[in-house]
């Protein structure tokens, strides 16, 4: 049996190479599998939409992997696909990680990450106080949205027209079907549909 070496979060940050796809789980370094192109395209699409919206109204900051989110209560350093930190909590952003929960976290599920995203991270993000959690599964063409209410995640559904209205990113909404289009909508076309340009 091989002994597992446990390290502090500070040692993890200092020892894992920049850009490495890794997380710190209870003192252990977990290297994650590479993602596929569909995952990357959805992530880039959402980051661009979020960033334009957030910067326009100076609502906070949008970050994406590889950016660590330190969760002290559950002793985790997670690397969500997308994070939004509201302007009143920007002091949580350090040069190398977010010290505490983001307001909105998006995980794009792929087969290797499904169990971790749906169970482990779901429980951790809820316990730490991530206000809103999205799970997007390109394979099954499903999206799940959860908002924190009295310490528990309550599922939130798109409206009758299929638009989802974010709880944490106030005023932001979009048609969920965009996530499953091949190819994804061009950015400028999407921004026009949302009334952002």
Could you tell me which of 102, 100, 99 has the C-alpha nearest to residue 60? 102
Q: Output the CATH code of domain 35-193.
A: 3.90.1570.10
Whether the model clears a pTM of 0.85, i.e. scores above it, the answer is yes
* Residue 3 pLDDT class (50, 70, 90 cuts): low
Q: Which two tokens stand for residue 52?
A: 């334009």
CA gap 128, 52 in Å, rounded: 27
Average pLDDT, the chain: 93
Percent over 90 (pLDDT), the chain: 79
Q: What is the DSSP letter of 107?
A: E
CA gap 103, 113 in Å, rounded: 21
Strand-pair partners of 137: 142
First to last CA, the chain: 59
Segment 116-168, tens digit of pLDDT: 999 999 999 999 999 999 999 999 999 999 999 999 999 999 999 999 999 99
Strand-pair partners of 106: 82, 134
Angle formed at CA 15 by CA 121 and CA 65, multiple of 5 degrees? 40
CA gap 31, 145 in Å, rounded: 26
Domain boundaries, the chain: 35-193
* Residue 42 pLDDT class (50, 70, 90 cuts): very high
């Amino acid at each position: 049996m091989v002994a597992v070496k446990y390290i502090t979060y500070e040692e993890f940050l200092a020892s894992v190479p920049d850009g490495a796809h890794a997380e710190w789980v209870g003192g252990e370094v977990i290297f994650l599998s590479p993602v596929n192109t569909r995952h990357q395209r959805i992530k880039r699409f959402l980051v661009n939409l979020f960033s334009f919206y957030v910067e326009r109204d100076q609502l906070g900051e949008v970050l994406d992997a590889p950016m660590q989110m330190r969760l002290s209560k559950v002793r985790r350093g997670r690397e969500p696909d997308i994070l939004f930190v509201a302007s009143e909590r920007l002091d949580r952003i350090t040069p190398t990680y977010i010290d505490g929960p983001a307001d909105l976290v998006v995980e794009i599920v792929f087969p290797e990450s499904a169990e971790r995203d749906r169970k482990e991270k779901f429980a951790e993000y809820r316990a730490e106080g991530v206000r809103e959690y999205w799970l997007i599964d390109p394979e099954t063409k499903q999206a799940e949205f959860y908002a924190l209410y009295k310490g528990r995640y309550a599922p939130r559904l798109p409206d009758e027209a299929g638009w989802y209205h974010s709880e944490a990113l106030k005023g932001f909404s979009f048609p969920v079907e965009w996530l499953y289009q091949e190819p994804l909508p061009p950015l400028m076309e999407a921004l026009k549909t949302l009334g952002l340009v």
